[in-house]
Amino acid sequence: MPCWIDGQPGESLPLVDRGLAYGDGLFETLAVRRGRPLLLERHLARLAEGCARLAIPGDLALIRTELLAFSAALGEGVAKLLLTRGDGLRGYAPPPSAQPRRILLGSPPPAYPPANAEQGVQLFPCRTRLAEQPRLAGLKHLNRLEQVLARAEWQDAEHAEGLMRDLAGRVIEGVFSNLFLVKDGLLLTTDLRRCGVAGVMRAEILALAKRTGISVQVRDIAHAELLAADEVFLCNSLYGIWPVRRFEGHDWPVGTLTRKLQALVRKLLDA
């Protein structure tokens, strides 16, 4: 697995890195096709937002240059960028002199079953709930323990993803995906100002819907509203769109709006 640390090939990190000690940092996972990172501008925009909120002085121009070079060398696969605050002594207080560390990891393309996109997936009802923290909501920060606990709840191949809710029971997202519903021709997705990750594919789908005249609402979604939906689908930047066909004994068809958006996203990923 290729790895660059601060722009150079590397295999190890200092034990005092704050990303390791406290999850003090951010990450982005980019699909790489024909040596090109997909949705690069959206990934960098989210990273910039995270740097601003966490007060990490990330050099976005340098990160862009390194991502382009790393992707060109990788060719096909997945480039994972980790940006930590850098080294520090014991204690939570961020050291003012810390220098952010850039880590790039390469891996092969994910081998998702084609049936996930073609026929749809079944969702597992995760017991782990997402805590509310508006200062971190939407960010792809390095503390993913809620997702780790949720993903450990199932091991069978029957469920391709899990559904995560917040402490009030509102529907939020998948463990590694964002969630959309369709009801009476209206596209719905969750408001992520309390918790959850604002995925770059979610942002792209919202933009596609606006350009193609699809009505959209971003708001709280109750569990009962999910079950009453006409169509349900998941999305992320690596696989595009997966229709959801079953959850808690409830079945949905793969609807026309899901297929329309799926075709548009596939063109984007294959371009």
Which of the residues 28, 29, 161, 231 is marked catalytic? Answer: 29
Pairing mode, if any, of strands 178-183 and 121-130?
unpaired
| Bridge partner list, 8 | 5
Query: Using CA of residue 47, residue 53, residue 54, residue 58, what is the dihedral sign?
Result: positive
Q: Which two tokens stand for residue 18?
A: 């704050």
DSSP states along 57-78? ---HHHHHHHHHHHHHHH-SEE
The Cα–Cα gap between 199 and 195 comes to: 12
Would residue 29 show up in a list of annotated catalytic residues for this protein? yes
Which of the residues 66, 84, 128, 140 is marked catalytic? Answer: 140
Q: Yes or no: say if 218 and 64 are a contact pair by the CB < 8 Å rule.
A: no
Which of the residues 28, 161, 173, 231 is marked catalytic? Answer: 173
Count CA atoms closer than 13 A to 75's CA, side-chain side. 3
Would residue 140 show up in a list of annotated catalytic residues for this protein? yes
What's 135's DSSP letter?
T
Q: Yes or no: say if 245 and 252 are a contact pair by the CB < 8 Å rule.
A: yes
Q: Yes or no: say if 207 and 218 are a contact pair by the CB < 8 Å rule.
A: no
Known catalytic residues? 29, 140, 173
